[in-house]
Structure 1
Amino acid sequence: MDTPLHPPVSDPDLRLLDRYWRAANYLSVGQIYLLDNPLLRQPLEAGHIKSRLLGHWGTTPGLNFIYAHLNRIIRQRDTNLLYICGPGHGGPGMVANTWLEGSYSEIYPDISQDAEGMRKLFRQFSFPGGIPSHAAPETPGSIHEGGELGYSLVHAFGAAFDNPNLIVPCVIGDGEAETGPLAASWHGTKFLNPVRDGAVLPILHLNGYKIANPTILGRTDDGDLEQLFNGYGYEPLFVVGDDPQLMHRQMADVLDKAFDRIQQIQQAARRGEAQKRVPRWPMIILRSPKGWTGPKTVDGKKVEGFWRAHQVPVAECRENEAHREILQQWMAGYHPDELFDDAGRLMPELQALAPTGDKRMGSTPYANGGRLRNLLEVPDIRQYAVEVNRPGETLAQSTAVLASYLSEIFTRNPENFRLFGPDETASNRLGKVFDVTNRSWMEAILPWDEQLAQDGRVMEILSEHQCQGWLEGYLLTGRHGLFNCYEAFIHIIDSMFNQHAKWLKVSRKLPWRKPISSLNYLLSSHVWRQDHNGYSHQDPGFMDHVANKKADIARIYLPPDANTLLWVGDHCLRTWDRINVIVAGKQPEPQWLTMDEAIRHCEKGMGIWHWAGNETAEDPSDVVMACAGDVPTLETLAAVDLLRQYLPDLRVRVVNVVDLLAMQTKEQHPHGLDEQEWETIFTADKPVIFAFHGYPALIHRLTWQRNNHRNIHVHGFNEEGTTTTPFDMTVLNELDRYHLAQNAILCVPGLQEEAGGVLDALQEKLAAHHAWVREYGEDIPEVHNWKWPSHEDKGGAPD
């Protein structure tokens, strides 16, 4: 049996700790109920009670219990803890504890540590103009709001990666433990390296009930729980009961054992002692009543230890005198005179129980990652440029080119950059990164395994939820990263994306929260190249979802070739407090722009490709052929080639868009163009045939305020798909060169009458394609072998 590293806590110290816990509970109840009379210096009256009682009591006393005990661990061991509150709706507990330790008043001086500050603390909670009821960005010490359940433990592991001096206690509610993402999160230990990473201490808080039902794990026998978590690879330690005196002793002893075990694992690993298997990390299972220390019954109905304690146990305190009396007795039962002095300040002996400075969990820089963030060291993208002597002549795999750049990022940033993805790094042609690092893997490595190592920095697990959550935790604690994923399946994390976007929106308005690195997505294996996977893998709709967010948060980039992808990737990795979505193909495709041209084009976000059109200043365009995305760009240029062959007198302008949201007005988006700039590119009155990577409606939505919107005709994904050839996919959705050329003829006034033969010829080509692809299973040679011809250059480089 291991020898304890610290002596057991004395009974007097536990009695002090109990008073501290009571203070946190008192403040938590006050936040839910009171407008005034914070110290109960007079009997409660209706006017002291909020008219709308909002908040969650049931989980809060357990959260306060854990927080108080973790304060002792910090003081005793001088360690850095990041407290992740899975039941984020227990926000009153987080606010109460940060106020008690002083970190809250340092950030919000108006909420002082006295009676007046307490009154304001109570009044602001879940109140118009105040603070949310969850552990929101406004809450010191929080990186996890917990409004949507399932992500606490994955955030904890993300925070622990590459933070060797950090331990992350993560409280998981038993309702949250029923979610799919949380169930997968237990496997985080298989990726946690005790040499270079910190540790995660899961605390499964079982109080038995959700909103109105029992919980699965809450009703599970302790023996079965022990087997379950042993199977996951943990050493479960139990704290069970409802008697505060006994529970304090249990919790103190169990925490000491857990932190001793963490220290032993880390020290052994850092001494270089070989591990035969993944360490069996400790976890705590805390069983305590829901609504612990609150009213046992209200109106003859059970409350404590039942689902009725979940939110507001006594619901009519303003209008019902009997309910108000229950509240009075409940709060008085914490004996506030033993907790706060006459001025409303926490008693000195209780103040001494809190850590100081940045050791306080409300002040730790790990919960305000911008304080720790260092700039990413990046190479010059010109080193990786694809040589382009003439447009379309060179073929390259754009994501493979980006992989060379990312390899150097890994080399230059060995401790603060990771690549995340659900087993798709190689599939998305990013395999070059394995020249400099491996996949992280703490389980057994067999002789024939490849690219697995305990110190690997590529994080792969077949769960988009885990990849997203790991990356969020990593970014929120001050580091940098990239998430690569198949385009169709990034939808799995739609809701997680929502939560992070909301967190960023609020954080940007809080001057004390320092900027964190942007969350960057690289979406490949996209809708237009699912040759063998078929319809199930064909969905570009994540862009529509992203476009819903506040303009200053979201960015969407559609680079048409490798050099533009290099610029976009480099740009996104340098940004902060944003979400960047990059959609790029992995298949060999024509390269259009030199690096200098790509830089100029991307810096503007969109522009005219003069070399592809045939308009002149004296003879301006009759039609604008616009495109956004690699395949739409290819098909647009092929359509322009057809038009120039069939109708040489037709004046065509080619426009390419990289920064999709810049299509909006300047009032709608920071990158948007004013109307004059817009018309300089898209014209004021000419038809625009727009080939788009995604759903056509998004382009109409982005441009509906433009004067020329009525003339924009969008071709994109129309939810037509199957297992077929790349070109046939575009034909099914009328994004192909023949349909684009036909639409241009139909939309230019008066052209249809004189070009009827051309329309027929294009239709014949579509029929020939249809027959050929179904006979031979490959695209017709005219398409397969097409290259941009050497038309006379009318305007030089794109602007």
Structure 2
Amino acid sequence: MWQGGRNRVAPPWRQPNPGERASRMTDLALVDAYWRAANYLSAGQIYLLDNPLLTEPLTPEHIKPRLLGHWGTTPGLNFLYAHLNRAIRERDVEVLFVTGPGHGGPALLANTWLEGSYSENYPDVPRDEEGMRRLFRQFSFPGGVPSHVAPEVPGSIHEGGELGYSLAHAFGAAFDNPDLLVACVIGDGEAETGPLAASWHGNKFLDPARDGVVLPILHLNGYKIANPAVLARIPHEELDALLRGYGYAPHYVEGADPAAMHARMAEVLDGVLDEVRRIKESGDGERPRWPMIVLRSPKGWTGPSEVDGVPIEGTWRAHQVPLAGVRDNPEHLRQLETWLRSYRPQELFDDHGRPKPELLALAPSGTRRMGSTPHANGGLLLRELRLPSVAAHSVEVTKHGTTTSEPTRVLGRLLRDVMTLNADEKNFRLFGPDETASNRLDAVYEATAKQWQAERLPTDEHLEPNGRVVEVLSEHLCQGFLEGYLLTGRHGLFNCYEAFIHIVDSMFNQHAKWLGTSRKLPWRRSVASLNYLLSSHVWRQDHNGFSHQDPGFIDHVMNKKAEVVRVYLPPDTNTLLSVADHCLRSRDYVNVVVSGKNLTPDWLGPQEAALHCARGAGTWEWAGTADGEPDVVLACAGDAPTLEVMAAAALLREHLPELRVRVVNVVDLMRLQPETEHPHGMPDREFDALFTPDRPVIFAYHGYPWLIHRLTYRRANHVNLHVRGYKEEGTTTTPFDMLVLNDMDRYRLVIDVIDRVPGLGVRAAGLRQLMQDQRTRHHTWIREHGEDLPEVRDWAWPY
């Protein structure tokens, strides 16, 4: 018998005995009752302020003044939830329910209230008449809960407000969860999105022996908001060929008659789970053809069939609120009451509004309830990540800036040891779009391979069915897999080329909002942070050119809540190791780390780096010439800007030794904000002490320069702040030419100092001219030799 999972002592997924199978059809009456109860509760949430049990005729005063919500997808979700409940009780299987259809909030709220999970997390919404009234009133109501499946809903890991990510989340949740079945409902509108189309390929990365099971359930109800859904309108043969081409064995449940649909769904679900069990127990090492279900049912199923002579059920008009004028139109009010009473609530709830005991018999108990599974509240399962010593991986620095190393290559060795230390726990993965080796993290392959279930050839390297690195050339899948992995209680890191992380801008939005909301829910436990490592960045994409040069993801991230986001720009290898160690230990954040992969000067020793990262921003006294108050501050954030600032400081020391220069490096970008805006922000006194209240500040920054102005505009010395950064000037050229094109090179920084320090312009006119000549000489040199000037290419800190 197949066994697996965390401390499992008995085979999972108990096989129903013949007696249970024989009584299944009688159980379907109970499944139907449960479905009707969930439908009643769902419709009640959309419409009712009061009179939840319809103990008196409906009046306009019982109806919400603003009718918000989405009915169209809800009956199908309720149908699936009820049938999965029966399977869970029969087979004792752990199921995580991932809701793809966008606004399925009424369904999941209804079902978790029915099973008791909701009231356990929200005792003020008990399972009785008053609790039902509160459940109804709070839905899409000021101060209440959203209309989609949000963090407030027990059992959810998936924000339903944006479509396309459910199946990727499902696969991420299944990785390293061998006993878990992830039932992922995919709406036919969602199925038209690019991320979902790519997500079907998740089955090429799922190891039957080590991972859980993803059961895709494609719900075809025919329409989106106002248009037909593509997959619902293509011929059956074409749909079947598409799904089989993705590698699935589709099973169809189609129709509108409830009795026939219940019987068919029970038959199909039992057959699918039997097939899954056979796959899990076979252990033959071959990639299986996983089963999936296609449910075709009317949009707005069991709702009003016609309103004002216009068809509703089975059309796009059922998408949101089927009866819109209920408060003002007596006929609509009558239709609503008829609709609600069609579910026969008096058979489902007792006089006190409690679900009847025979109805509750269908719901699983304890953590087998889908609203109470710990996999949907990942902090309950989260275990500390075992991390290697940073000191053991640090590079030795005997003299500042005279040796070089490749920061991400050294980080790769640390991540290799993370993989090794957590091999037994299987709770850490590395995700990336075919760039792990390109970003020089390939030391991880000494500890694990890349997970791969498709065909392998003799020429392939590092491909195994049970690898811990997931590479797929879709940033959407990398992000979705990682989100599902984190939200179910594990740890991970997503490495990507900086320019193309923008592909997941919207996915980042959703995850950041999820974390922000989850922080306010005391029953949701902390999860590991989502960690981005952005390499192959703007300043070293000189070979790929303009299309690969974009540092703007940082700007996007900075728009989110200060309690959630962090951005780090380590200037060298040892600071990168310190930042990575911090990020991997953190909880409930989105950490963005930007670091180059090319040879970079080693500025700080291990202890210096640790202290500097703890400060987040600080003076490098050894690099400046000001014992006390400076004449000018040279500030930098990012590895390439740091190199140019250091080279500019050396030039100033050589040519203007009397000039008092302070060098400030910023690792934690949030330190620039006031402490009132971000937990890492500096008080004004500290900021003024570091950057001075009135002296020129020349700031070389990794990204778009206006972000630094945005972060510091309230500071007293903002008027004297001059920022250099990326100005959308790029091409295929040399590394130093990229800096010259964007006016962030060392010569331009020296010119900025001369132009902004009072009285220096006339005195240093010769030096200014020399710096301009150097820029001209550089331009001529690279067009003749195709590489940077030797004094630039081979420069090292001379002091």
Which residue in 2 is equivalent to 1:459? Answer: 470
**Residue equivalent to 2:182:** 168
1:607 paired residue number? 618
Find the counterpart in structure 2 of residue 403 from structure 1.
Answer: 412
Q: Say which of 536, 544, 560 aligns to 2:571.
A: 560
SS in 1 for 2:83: helix
Where does 1:515-594 land on structure 2 (aligned, <5 Å)? 515-594=526-605
Unaligned runs of 5+ in 1: 791-799
**Is 1:495 the counterpart of 2:509 in the alignment?**
no
**C-alpha displacement of 1:116:** 1.1
1:784 aligns with 2:798: no
1:54 aligns with 2:68: yes
In structure 1, how many angstroms separate the alpha carbons of the residues matched to 2:87 and 2:235? 29
* Corresponding position of 2:52: 38
Q: How far has the Cα of 1:225 moved from its partner?
A: 1.4
Match of 1:255? Answer: 269
Question: What CA deviation, in whole Å up to 9, does each residue of 1:233-292 have, x standing for no partner?
Answer: 0000000000000000000000001111111101112xxx342xx200000000000000
Give the alignment partner of residue 231 of structure 2, picking from 196, 217, 221.
217
Q: For residue 200 of structure 1, give the secondary structure of its aligned residue in structure 2.
A: strand
Letter paired with 1:109: P
Q: One-letter code of the match for 1:603?
A: A
Q: How far did 1:343 drift?
A: 1.0
Counterpart check, 1:687 vs 2:701: no
1:634 and 1:695 mapped to 2: Cα distance? Answer: 18
TM-score normalised by length of structure 2? 0.97
Moved more, 337-346 or 573-582: 337-346
What is aligned with 1:201? Answer: 215
Q: Give the alignment partner of residue 383 of structure 1, picking from 392, 410, 424.
A: 392
Contact in 1 for aligned 2:16/2:90 (Cα 8 Å): no
Q: What pairs with 1:122-133 in structure 2 (closer than 5 Å)?
A: 122-133=136-147
Match of residue 797 from structure 1: none
Match of 1:595 in 2: 606
Within the candidate set 305, 314, 333, 1:305 is matched to: 314
Which amino acid letter does the alignment assign opposite residue 104 of structure 1? Answer: Y
Structure 1 pair 543/274, CA: closer, same or farther in 2 (3 Å)? closer
Partners of 2:275 and 2:542 in 1: CA distance: 51
Aligned to 1:244: 258
Alignment of 1:316-327 (within 5 A): 316-327=325-336
Deviation, 1:319, is: 1.1
Work out whether residues 9 and 252 of structure 1, in 8 Å CA contact, stay in contact via their aligned partners in 2: no
Aligned to 1:450: 461
Q: Residues 464 and 9 from structure 1, CA distance in 2 versus in 1: closer, same or farther, beyond 3 angstroms?
A: farther
Counterpart check, 1:82 vs 2:91: no
Deviations 1:167-224 (A, max 9, x none): 0000000000000000000000100001110000000000000000111001122222
Match of 1:759 among 749, 752, 768: 768
Cα deviations by residue, 1:424-476 (Å, 9 ceiling, x for unpaired): 00000001111111111011211121111111111000000000000000000
Q: Which amino acid aligns with 1:161?
A: F
Aligned to 2:713: 704
| Distance across 2 between alignment mates of 1:358 and 1:574 | 28
Equivalent position to 1:102, from 116, 122, 131: 116
CA distance in 2 between partners of 1:12 and 1:779 (Å): 80
What is the deviation of 1:5?
A: 7.3
Of the candidates 324, 328, 350, which is equivalent to residue 341 of structure 1? 350
Look up the equivalent residue of 2:765 and give its one-letter code.
G
Cα distance in 2 for partners of 1:179, 1:8 equals 42
Say if 1:125 and 1:133, in contact at 8 Å, map to a contact too: yes
Which deviates more from structure 2 when the two are superposed, residues 9-18 or residues 365-374? 9-18
1:150 equivalent to 2:164? Answer yes
Which of 110, 115, 132 pairs up with 2:129? Answer: 115
Q: Which runs of 5+ in 2 are unaligned?
A: 1-14
Check if 1:769 corresponds to 2:778: yes
Give the Å deviation of 1:9.
5.2
What RMSD, in angstroms, separates the aligned Cα atoms of the two structures? Answer: 0.9
String of CA shifts for 1:320-378, please: whole Å, max 9, x gaps.
11100010000001111111111111111111110000000000000000000001000
Match in the other structure for 1:716: 725
The amino acid across from 2:619 in the alignment is I
Report if aligned partners of 1:4, 1:260 keep a CA contact under 8 Å in 2.
Answer: no
d(CA) in 2 for partners of 1:108 and 1:261? 38
CA distance in 2: counterparts of 1:139 and 1:146, whole angstroms: 11
Cα contact 2:16–2:91 (8 A) shared by 1: no
Could you say which residue in structure 2 is the equivalent of 1:726? 735
Q: Deviations over 1:5-48 (max 9, x none)?
A: 76255332111110110000000000000000001111100000
Q: Distance in 1 between matches of 2:643 and 2:479?
A: 32
Question: Alignment partner of 1:375: what SS?
Answer: coil
TM-score, length of structure 1 as denominator length: 0.97
Q: What pairs with 1:366-445 in structure 2 (closer than 5 Å)?
A: 366-414=375-423, 415-445=426-456
How far apart, in 2, do the equivalents of 1:183 and 1:782 lie?
51
Structure 1 pair 391–242 and aligned structure 2 pair: CA distance change class (3 A): same
Q: How many residues align?
A: 781
Aligned partners of 1:392, 1:703: CA distance in 2, in Å?
29
**Percent identity, aligned pairs only?**
64
Asked whether the 8 Å contact 1:57–1:313 carries over to 2, the reply is yes
Residue identity in the other structure for 1:55: G
